[in-house]
Amino acid sequence: MKTVVIQNESGLHARPCSHIANMVKNVAGDVYLIKEGKPYNAKSIMSLMGMGVTKGTALEIECADPVVEESLYQFLSNLSE
Amino acid sequence: MFNLFKKKESQSQWVNSPIQGRIEALDSVPDPVFAGKMVGDGFAVKPANGMVYAPISGEVVQLFGTKHAFGIRSSEGLEVLVHVGIDTVQLKGEGFEAHVATGDQVTQGQLVLSVDLEAIEAAGKSTITPVIVTNMTEVSELVLASEIIGSDKGPTDAVLSVRMK
């Protein structure tokens, strides 16, 4: 499990959420982003947008596939728009 | 619990236009995330005014802090996102007023947002509003009649027919 702090001004809005859901949709098994101990299904765009992630929010990544977990971590670490 | 697995064939649901305006195909939206259907399938509306209504009945599962978008989930499991304008997350709520809160139950045609379209345009953003089914993996059929594209529709007009799996 990796932890990342979101750095972009707009947080997780439609664009990054759709990107994340597309990244993980083929993972066999569950993928969650965890905010303040609460897991959100990363395969659901609506679930991700419902997290209300803003700049400075810390997220844990729980992913059945370690390669996808690493790319999720990289994507979330480098969010800039 | 077990009757979850005996779900009968679901009925089509209608998604109305959330705003009075001209219906456009998604591929005309100037944002590849929506035009490329990365978020899901649906339609867009070019608003004639800033009154935004619920396109389906259900629970407001997400109303952004910036009030530029909201999602509703129907009791049948259909999830619809209304995203007012393009890149409007950058306006940080300026020009947007919400009339409901996350977790509220709304009925189709209920007022959800009042939006200052001139403020969006003054900020250099498009007001075109994608209306997107975000859980396409749970949808068996989605129909947007071609004659609806380019026509003027409002919050009492059915635009998109969706059948869940």
| Cα–Cα dist B49/B70, whole Å | 18
Q: What is the pLDDT of residues A31-53, one digit of tens each?
A: 999 999 999 999 998 889 888 88
B86-133 pLDDT, tens digit per residue, is: 989 888 899 999 999 999 999 999 999 999 999 999 999 999 999 999
What DSSP string describes chain A?
-EEEE--STT-S-HHHHHHHHHHHTT-SS-EEEEETTEEEETT-HHHHHTT---TT-EEEEEES-HHHHHHHHHHHHT---
pTM above 0.90, yes or no: no
Which 47-86 residues of chain B touch chain A by CB within 8 A? Answer: 61-62, 64-66, 69, 71, 73, 79, 81, 83
Q: Which residue would you say has higher pLDDT here, B62 or B6?
A: B62
Q: Which two tokens stand for residue B134?
A: 């975000």
Q: What ranges make up the beta strands (E) of B18-144?
A: 21-24, 41-47, 51-53, 58-63, 69-73, 79-83, 96-98, 105-106, 111-115, 129-133, 139-144
What is the structure's pLDDT at B92?
A: 85
Q: Is B83 a catalytic residue?
A: yes
Residues of B in contact with A35 (CB under 8 A): none
ipTM associated with this complex: 0.70
Q: How far from B31 is each of B37, B106, B152, CA to CA, in Å?
A: 10, 29, 22
User: What pLDDT is attached to residue A1?
Assistant: 82
Distances (CA, A) of B99 to A66, A75, B145: 42, 34, 31
Does position A69 have pLDDT exceeding 90, yes or no? yes
Q: Decide if pLDDT at A15 tops 90.
A: no
- Report pLDDT digits (tens) over B7-52: 556 789 999 999 999 999 999 999 998 999 989 999 999 999 999 9
Please tell me the predicted confidence (pLDDT) of residue B114.
Answer: 97
Residue B62 pLDDT: 85
C-alpha to C-alpha distances, A14 to B79, B140, B159, nearest whole angstrom: 14, 23, 22
**Cα nearest neighbour of B92 on chain A:** A10
Alpha carbon distance A29, B65 (integer Å): 31
Disruptive mutation site among B134, B135, B137, B139 for chain A (greatest number of A CBs within 10 Å): B134
Q: Tell me B161's DSSP state.
A: E
Report how far residue B69's alpha carbon sits from residue B52's, in angstroms, rounded to the nearest whole number.
10
CA distance B72 to chain A (A): 9
Q: Between chains, do B33 and A15 touch, taking CB under 8 Å as contact?
A: yes
Between A and B, how many residue pairs show a Cβ–Cβ distance under 8 A?
54
Cβ of A18 under 8 Å from any chain B Cβ?
yes
